[in-house]
Amino acid sequence: MSPAMATTKERRDEESPYQKGVKQLCENGLQRVPNKYILPSSERPNRNVEDFNVAKENLQLPIIDFADLIGPNRPQALKSLANACETYGFFQLVSHGIPDDVLRDMMDVSGRFFDLPFEERAKYMTTDMRAPVRYGTSFSQTRDSVFCWRDFLKLLCHPVPDFLPLWPVLPVDFRKLAATYAEENKNLFVTLIEAILESLGIMEDKEKQTEEKDLLKGFQDGSQLMVVNCYPPCPEPELTLGMPPHSDYGFLTLLLQDKVEGLQIQFQGKWVTVDPIANAFVVNIGDHLEIFSNGRYKSVLHRVLVNAEKSRITVASLQSLAFNCSVRPSPKLIDEKNPKRYKDTDFGTFLDYVTKQEPKGKSFLESRKLTC
């Protein structure tokens, strides 16, 4: 058998267990990337910095000091926040008040979950995107034409007592540590989204206006989806991605990541790598906030690279209004010069869209745009 034929056969033999996830493939001694994970050449991450679509340097995202947002420097901090949301769609949040040990514990227990035997992880494996607890790989094991190099554990989190009994029982401290983290994260989100709404100029009278109070109550009672991601070392990282270019569907995503680089965002037409900052959150605008702001704050395409040496763990918290609530442009941001630019939407609309077709980039958000 020729080397080329042998390689093809090896890849075909390796493809049968791919739906169990890349962690399982790696634990079985995978030496090459199966065909199911190989992107078309035009979609592969070009590691050559001379390519015009890849920046030569990492990107220093705007840094927002949370302490300034809740202190006497709030007016200036709100201006910085608005600039970050308009120009980048991403920023790093520091001095956020969540204790370092809560962050370390969440990252540690997440890694230990993915180190469990596959049979234990598989107890939570399902293709049902509406499941309150879902372990899986890629984005959809049943529909993705090309798989991404990622395993994940998705957890509905709010209110925590309603979902806690459904979360994994192992590691034995998983529920306790994840619940503490989720509740701290939720509180941070509510304070942060209030600042973002104020930066849009629609929250000045929040103490007087029932509408503003109801809006904040909607976020306090809103949805919280926590996604724990594992990107194992990849033998051929130039052929695949941890996640393809996409935007997030919620209002805000708060990402906690380890020290391993991987996150890239599209900025000024180029893919740029985000430098991790210890114990900081990478915060990005979601599709719902773009709709609510009537396009002033835009969700931004981002993707995840993998590498051959190190595993990477991240915890993303996607937060929005309740799943049954409609998201629409704020009436305060609509006028003759800025007509309504998006259709109303909700989580059910999003699920219907992604279950019928493979999402590409910001395709769902594009489907919600009005021609005006």
Q: Across the 372 residues of the chain, what is the mean pLDDT of every consecutive 10-residue run? A: 40 52 88 92 75 67 94 94 96 96 98 96 89 89 84 96 97 98 97 95 67 85 96 95 93 96 92 92 96 96 94 96 91 92 87 72 86 62
Global confidence as pTM = 0.90
Residue 133 lies in a domain: yes
Residue 342 lies in a domain: yes
| CATH number for position 153 | 2.60.120.330
Cis before 171 (ω within 30): yes
Helix or strand holding residue 349 (H, E): helix 347-356
Task: Write out the residue range of the structural domain in which residue 89 sits.
Answer: 36-41+48-367
Residue 24 lies in a domain: no
The pLDDT score that the predictor gives to residue 328 is 93
DSSP secondary structure string for all residues of 48-75: -TTSTTB-SS-B---EEEHHHHTSTTHH
Residue 17 lies in a domain: no
Question: What whole-number distance in Å separates Cα of residue 210 and Cα of residue 68?
Answer: 27
The one-character DSSP state at 133 is E
The pLDDT score that the predictor gives to residue 186 is 97
Residue 30 lies in a domain: no
Residue 18 lies in a domain: no
Structurally, the chain folds into a number of domains equal to: 1
Annotate 290-319 with b (16+ C-beta within 10 A) or e (fewer). Answer: bbbbbebbbbbbbbbbbeeeebbbbbbbbb
The pLDDT score that the predictor gives to residue 346 is 84
Residue 325 lies in a domain: yes
Residue 1 lies in a domain: no
- Give the three-class secondary structure for 365: helix
